[in-house]
Chain A
Amino acid sequence: MIEQIDVSQVNWARATFALTAMYHWIFVPLTLGLSFLCAFFESIYVRTGNEEWKRLTKFWMTLFGINFAIGVATGIILEFEFGTNWSNYSWMVGDIFGAPLAIEGIFAFFLEATFFAVMFFGWDRVTKKFHLFSTWMVAVGSNLSALWILVANGWMQNPVGMKFNVDMARFEMQDLWAVISSPVAIGHFTHATSSGFLLASLFVVAISSWYLIRKEHILFAKRSIAVAAVFGLFSSLFVAFSGDEHAYVTASTQPMKLAAMEALWEGETGAGLVVAGVPNPMKELDNDEEAFIFDIQVPGVLSVLATRSMDGFVPGIKDLAYGNSEQNIVGVDEKITRGQAAISSLAAYKAAKKAGDEPGAATALTEFDKNRDFLGYGYLQSVDQAVPPVSLVFYAFRVMVGLGTFFIVLFLAYLYFAYKNKLESMWGLHVAGIVSVFLGYIAQQAGWIVSEVGRQPWAIQDMLPVTVARSNLDTGTVVVTFFMFLLLFTALLIAELKIMAKQISLGPKGGDV
């Protein structure tokens, strides 16, 4: 990945944003999933009245609290970066992002904050049922917080429900429901949150496995595994289902991303899904090198995934770059021409407005409207700039899917041996369980690489490339902040790991938060 970062300001700004987002996403998925697991554990306590379940709930709640406290507000740094490094983008999307983020602030945050205190401080002060209700509300509130930011991200990948205001240079919300109910936004939300449930299940299984290896807190660990493995299995299956749906939507909204995910250079009917392969690093848009050094494909599966038909046509990178008249695909080359026309019309509109020439402005606006959907392409210098880094996206996708499949098998194994009451003796399984929590984090990050690197060069799909989204800053400032964040987040991560490790070593008798 280092080879892809050059010293230009925009790439350092991208690296800083990627660094911040990836660190932020270390904390977020665990919060999303562990909040629900705490609610499940407490529900069992309330139903059975067994104090051991209360002790168990309190232990996991303490780890939830540690992760929440360390992770809280790390996302705000992303907003700092919008205002400083990405000011053009920030200005242009302000109207779109304002509504979802305001809803997040008012609704989800306050829901979370109100019930948080009851969850941690209210054990002996409110009724069991009200405490349980509060725990569920924290879980719902945490996940609702994720909804709004993922809706915003979904809009960037598929800008719907908006109109570009040429006077203010802003995308303005026309239809909030279209933004919220966009299939891309829904796909992002369901896939990201369920992957958080999966990760939290791995987390609980891993720590419980550690106890079983050490022959400590055995009943506690077995009970935790039983609940987490069920939740993890259902979450894993849902992650696979939502991922499939998400890929289907991507095929129509971001076909270049899907083509990069599969390193599919030439479009095919009955296209095969590459189960494993090594993309040829020499392969480029303008040469005829083989796409793969080695690959294993399952025929027809990519067509099913993208079109829901074995014979469906899946466009390749070349089809999308140069167009394919048989399949009615407009190429990037033509889109660049139309994008440049949109920019010229915008410039003419601006000049006419400044000169007080209203008829001239109206004519320019009419011309702009004809090509407005291609605006972003006008900033590209050549066709190859519309192609994301293929190998990185290809490998990240396989890491994500491969690990996701492995987790299904892992949870099934845990449930099988729990059912057979043989968990205590399964040393190898426990080692795999402990390692898997780290693999879970790798799968999470790989998923975001597919999503975000796969949509390059766009900050807003087809509308605004990252090079125009940036601020006019000097590179040195951005480089300094990159390393400052690296230090800050690494310090936070070390703090979290140390506090977590201490609490885990104390075990369920370690006391409350």
Chain B
Amino acid sequence: MFRNVFSMYYDGFRSMVVGRTLWKLIFIKLFIMFAILKTFFFPNFLATNFSTDAERADHVLQNLTQVQDRADVNKP
């Protein structure tokens, strides 16, 4: 059973034609997304700036209750 499943994957991957290019593209894409974009450009704002859920909740509540003048950006 396991041998059959393994050989299906093994032979399947070995005999790929277009699939080889596609897998290369997938790996490049995932590398760009996770190793570059996520790491350097998309830190989780709350996870990075606050260490506990209580602090995060307090920050969001602060934003919700401290109504600033958002007239410059509020127009849809």
Q: Which residues of A contact B (CB under 8 A)?
A: 6, 8-11, 62, 65-66, 69-70, 72-73, 76-77, 80-81, 83-84, 87-88, 90-92, 117-118, 120-122, 125, 166-170, 340, 343, 346-347, 350, 378-381, 384-385, 387-389, 453, 456-457, 465, 467-468, 471-473, 477, 480-481, 484, 488, 492, 495, 499, 503, 511-513
Contact = CB atoms under 8 A, between A and B. Distances in A.
A379 B37 CA distance: 32
Contacts of B42: 80-81, 83-84, 481
Interface in B29-48: 29-30, 32-33, 37-38, 41-47
17 contacts: A62-B18, A69-B22, A73-B26, A73-B29, A87-B45, A91-B57, A122-B12, A169-B60, A340-B67, A347-B66, A381-B69, A457-B75, A468-B64, A481-B41, A488-B37, A492-B25, A513-B19
A456 B41 CA distance: 27
A385 to B, nearest CB: 5
Contacts of B15: 512
B45 A77 contact: no
> Which of B9, B37, B53 has most chain A Cβ within 10 Å?
B37
Interface string B1-29: 00010011101110111110111011001
B34 to A, nearest CB: 9
Contact of A467 (B29, B44, B70): B70
Given A62-B18, A380-B74, A381-B71, A343 B64 contact: yes
A92 B60 contact: yes
Contacts of A91: 46, 56-57, 60
> Which of B21, B53, B67 has most chain A Cβ within 10 Å?
B67
A484 B41 contact: yes
B65 interface: yes
Contacts, number: 152
B63 interface: yes
What range describes how many residues of B lie at the interface? 35 or more
Contact of B22 (A484, A488, A499): A499
Interface of B: 4, 7-9, 11-13, 15-19, 21-23, 25-26, 29-30, 32-33, 37-38, 41-47, 53, 56-57, 60-61, 63-67, 69-76
Contact of A121 (B8, B17, B43, B65): B8
Contacts of A346: 61, 64-65
B60 A84 contact: no
A492 B25 CA distance: 8
Nearest to A79: B42
A363 B46 CA distance: 30
> Which of B21, B46, B65 has most chain A Cβ within 10 Å?
B65
A488 to B, nearest CB: 6
B32 to A, nearest CB: 6
A125 B47 CA distance: 47
A467 B63 contact: no
A456 B76 CA distance: 6
A117 B12 contact: yes
B3 to A, nearest CB: 12
Given A484-B37, A503-B18, A121 B76 contact: no
> Which of A83, A87, A117, A511 has most chain B Cβ within 10 Å?
A87
